[in-house]
Amino acid sequence: MSFLVSDFFDLDAFGHAAVFDGCENVWDVLKKIAPYVRANVTTEIRGRVEDGAHIIGEVFIDEGTVVEAGAYIRGPAMIGKNCEIRTGAYLRGDTLIGDGAIVGNSTELKNTLLMDRAMAPHYNYCGDSVMGNDTNLGAGTKLSNYKIGADKTVRLLVDGEVIDTGLIKFGAILGDRAATGCNAVLNPGTILGKDVLVYACTAIRGYVPHKTIVKLRQPTEQAELR
């Protein structure tokens, strides 16, 4: 099974394609986000920051991006063009965001890469994760990055083979155009291929192949109100 970067992302138009240089497997980029941001960030605001937003440390905000009042950005962070950083967003540092992305109310990012037009718009947690081009998280979706239990190393089971990523902090990787429904939970080490759809309230882990729908089926019952 191949986990090459090119299997998951179209990098032709992505302005920060260099962050993936030297990555043997797609999850290797998680170790490169922080060094890349810290080596390339400049403190400059070209977009619009509303009164009441908090910008701390080295933060670059490109043209057309709006940071709404009540957002909190702690550098180092690099934010591309025409993004929306909405009220209540919390960027904890080592954050790399492409063009046209949305970080919404009560969404928290930590050591995370959002590629072009990636959307985490409502009550999302994204830790040690990558969201590909045109991805979307339903409200309340969590990309969980830390295992419970004694064994913290994230391992993948793929076609009967155990792959040791060597990572302790590993949230999720979403290939281009992958999307989740509301309140889905992607447990540590979840990898979604391109065009994967995950139904609302589904909790998953491991690898989901390209162009797959992950469905949650549960019985419901209706009774007459007396």
| Residues in the chain where the model's pLDDT stays below 50 | none
| pLDDT tens-digit map of 61-105 | 999 999 999 999 999 999 999 999 999 999 999 999 999 999 999
pLDDT score for 170: 97
The residues that are catalytic are 122
Superfamily of domain 5-214: Hexapeptide repeat proteins (2.160.10.10)
pLDDT score for 189: 95
pLDDT score for 157: 83
pLDDT score for 2: 82
pLDDT score for 23: 96
pLDDT score for 160: 81
pLDDT score for 162: 87
Assign residue 45 a region (left: φ > 0; alpha: ψ between -120 and 50; beta: otherwise): beta
Mean per-residue pLDDT over the chain, rounded:
96
Nearest to 164 by CA among 172, 153, 152, 155: 155
Q: How far is CA 210 from the centre of its chain?
A: 17
- State phi, psi for 158 to the nearest 5 degrees: -130, 120
Nearest to 112 by CA among 12, 19, 3, 181: 19
Work out the angle at residue 62's Cα, subtended by the Cα atoms of residues 59 and 64, and round it to the nearest 5 degrees: 135
Residues 6+ apart with CB under 8 A from 18: 36
pLDDT score for 218: 87
pLDDT score for 29: 98
pLDDT score for 105: 97
